[in-house]
């Protein structure tokens, strides 16, 4: 039997992250051959991975990385089975190393086939499955290319990257703020203009039905009923709809006995309220139309516009689960 030194065991441990005893056993089995020992550990990982293939890897770490000239960003999720492993320092270190490597690739498939310390990323995940004893996987892989890219990571649970058409002064603040908005509020579209009309119509019907159902219960309890909107997106607010809303607002003012000479001062507020009440979907799903989390008096589009001639071109968000 080959004599295995502590230095050889330590070298294998540093290379693979496996425990001291596992490294020693692998070196013994490989008769002291370093590459052979790595192969032994890899085969062990394959066996563990096969046994745990049907497990959910819904925990883990989300990371975002930006290249040196801030023109490309990548966001990935390295998934595992338990929160305990997901918070482990070595696991988070591995996630960040994989994130740095991911910057060089444009698809998950290319990334998994990339070299990582003498083996592919896919093989590294299998190896680490054997080391850790939990299923590991790349659950998300997203990239953004733009004139300027910003990023934000929320406690390794959510990562967001966002691209802009130009790099203005204080671009890092802009990038972080908007990426934080994306991470926090979970927008799925850039603007209401991107929403599918069929989806908007279906969602309108469902939301109105839900509010009407709630109002039946509120009425039964003698509580104030909720306002039932006619619309839920700016994509539904045509010039004709706006004109009708303004005429209705004027009729209300007349019925209330308000002098016509002061209507011009009151109407803007009423119209603003009408648009607010009838664009709830946009505020939930559309980044530019969301209320800016750092200043509720403006939306994200207003905030971006404050930086000059710059627009958001693309964004991506990844999260655990």
Residues 76, 148 share a domain: yes
CA 175 to CA 105: how far, in whole Å? Answer: 22
CA 99 to CA 107: how far, in whole Å? Answer: 13
Residues 144, 31 share a domain: no
State the average pLDDT over residues 145-168: 97
State the average pLDDT over residues 170-191: 96
* CATH assignment at residue 169: 3.30.479.20
Question: How does residue 138 score in pLDDT terms, banded at 50, 70 and 90?
Answer: very high
* pLDDT value, residue 52: 67
- For residue 284, tell me if it sits in a domain: no
Residues 178, 133 share a domain: yes
Burial (CB count within 10 angstroms: exposed 0-12, middle 13-18, buried 19+), residue 11: middle
- For residue 318, tell me if it sits in a domain: no
Residues 153, 65 share a domain: yes
* CATH assignment at residue 21: 1.10.8.10
Pairing of strands 148-154, 137-145: unpaired
Residues 166, 69 share a domain: yes
Query: What's the whole-model pTM score?
Result: 0.79
- HEC letters along the chain: CCCCCHHHHHHHHHHHCCCHHHHHHHHHHCCCCHHHHHHHHHHHHHHHHHHCCCCCCCEEEEEEEECCCCCEEEEEEEEECCHHHHCCHHHHHHHHHHHHHHCCCCCHHHHHCCEECCEEHHHHHHHHHHHHCCCCEEEEEEEEECCEEEEEEECCCEEEEEEECCCCCCHHHHHHHHHHHHHHHCCCECCHHHCCHHHHHHHHHHHHHHHHHHHHHHHHCCCCCCCCCCCCCHHHCCHHHHHHHHHHHHHHHHHCCCCHHHHHHHHHHHHHHHHHHCCHHHHHHEHHHCECCCCCCCEHHHHHHCCCCCCEEEEEEEECC
The 10s digit of each residue's pLDDT in 246-297 is 999 999 889 988 888 899 999 999 999 999 889 999 999 999 999 999 999 9
* pLDDT value, residue 57: 82
The number of domains in the chain is: 3
Question: How does residue 137 score in pLDDT terms, banded at 50, 70 and 90?
Answer: very high
- pLDDT over 90 at 204, yes or no: yes
Domain holding 255, by residue range, is 238-277
Lowest-confidence pick of 10-24, 68-82, 227-241 = 10-24
Sheet holding 72-80, edge to edge: 59-66, 72-80, 137-145
Question: How does residue 51 score in pLDDT terms, banded at 50, 70 and 90?
Answer: low
Residues 76, 149 share a domain: yes
* pLDDT value, residue 45: 64
Return the percentage of the chain with pLDDT > 70, whole number.
95
CA 191 to CA 184: how far, in whole Å? Answer: 17
* pLDDT value, residue 127: 85
* pLDDT value, residue 1: 54
Lowest-confidence pick of 100-104, 118-122, 132-136, 168-172 = 132-136
- For residue 260, tell me if it sits in a domain: yes
- pLDDT over 90 at 309, yes or no: yes
Residues 69, 107 share a domain: yes
Task: Please report how many Cα atoms fall inside a 13 Å half-sphere around the Cα of residue 311, on the Cβ side.
Answer: 4
- For residue 19, tell me if it sits in a domain: yes
- For residue 79, tell me if it sits in a domain: yes
């Amino acid at each position: 039997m080959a004599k295995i030194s502590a230095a050889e065991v330590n070298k294998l441990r540093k290379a693979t992250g496996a425990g001291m005893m596992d490294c020693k056993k692998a070196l013994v089995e490989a008769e002291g051959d370093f590459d052979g020992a790595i192969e032994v550990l890899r085969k062990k990982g394959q066996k563990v991975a096969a046994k745990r293939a049907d497990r959910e890897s819904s925990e883990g770490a989300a990371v975002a990385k930006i290249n040196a000239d801030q023109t490309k960003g990548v966001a990935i999720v390295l998934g595992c089975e338990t929160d305990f492993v997901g918070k482990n320092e070595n696991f988070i270190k591995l996630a960040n190393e994989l994130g740095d490597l991911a910057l060089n690739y444009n698809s998950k498939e290319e990334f998994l086939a990339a070299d990582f310390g003498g083996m592919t990323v896919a093989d590294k995940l299998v190896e680490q499955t054997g080391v850790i004893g939990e299923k590991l996987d790349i659950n998300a892989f997203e990239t953004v290319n733009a004139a300027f890219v910003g990023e934000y990571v929320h406690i390794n649970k959510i990562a967001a990257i966002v691209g802009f058409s130009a790099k203005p002064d204080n671009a890092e603040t802009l990038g972080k703020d908007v990426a934080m908005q994306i991470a926090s509020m979970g927008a799925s579209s850039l603007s209401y203009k991107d929403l599918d009309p069929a989806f908007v119509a279906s969602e309108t019907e469902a939301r109105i039905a839900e509010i009407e159902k709630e109002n039946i219960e509120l009425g039964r309890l003698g509580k104030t009923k909720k306002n039932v909107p006619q619309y839920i997106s700016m994509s539904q607010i045509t010039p004709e709809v706006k004109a009708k809303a303004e005429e209705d607002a004027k009729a209300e003012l007349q019925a209330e006995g308000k002098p016509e000479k002061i209507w011009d001062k009151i109407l803007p507020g009423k119209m603003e309220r009408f648009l607010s009440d009838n664009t709830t979907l946009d505020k939930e799903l559309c980044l530019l139309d969301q209320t800016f989390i750092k200043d509720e008096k403006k939306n994200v589009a207003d905030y971006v516009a404050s930086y000059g001639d710059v627009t958001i071109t693309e964004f991506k968000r990844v999260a655990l689960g």
